[in-house]
Amino acid sequence: MAVETSQAGGLSMVRATEQDLDRILRIEQASFSVPWTRKMFEVELGQNPFGHLYVAWPSDDEGGTSGFIGYVCFWVVFEEFRLMTLAVEPSARRSGFGRALLRHAMALGRAQGVTRALLEVRASNAAALRLYEQAGFRRTAVRTRYYAHPTEDAVLMELDLSSGR
Ligand SMILES: CC(C)(COP(=O)(O)OP(=O)(O)OC[C@H]1O[C@@H](n2cnc3c(N)ncnc32)[C@H](O)[C@@H]1OP(=O)(O)O)[C@@H](O)C(=O)NCCC(=O)NCCS
CB of 34 within 6 A of ligand 1: the answer is no
Indicate if the pLDDT at residue 111 is higher than 60: yes
**pTM for the whole structure:** 0.93
Segment 25-32 mean pLDDT: 97
Residue 132 a catalytic site member: yes
pLDDT at residue 5, rounded to an integer: 58
Q: What is the pLDDT of residue 2?
A: 39
Model confidence at 121: pLDDT above 50? yes
Radius of gyration of the chain (CA): 15
Nearest CA owner, ligand 1 atom 17: 131
- Give percent of the chain above pLDDT 70: 91
Best substitution site from 73, 93, 132 to test ligand 1's pocket, by max atoms within 8 Å of Cβ? 93
**Which of the four pLDDT bands, split at 50, 70 and 90, describes residue 9?**
low
Look at ligand 1, atom 15, and give the residue with the nearest C-alpha: 131
Structural contact between residues 159 and 137, judged by C-beta atoms closer than 8 angstroms: yes
Over residues 115-144, the mean pLDDT reads 98
**What is the per-residue pLDDT for 164?**
60
- What separation in angstroms does the CA of 23 have from each of 70, 96, 99, 142, 157? 9, 20, 20, 32, 28
Domains of the chain: 5-160 (3.40.630.30)
- How high is the pLDDT of residue 1? 34
Q: Return mean pLDDT, the chain.
A: 92
Catalytic residue among 120, 133, 152, 158: 120
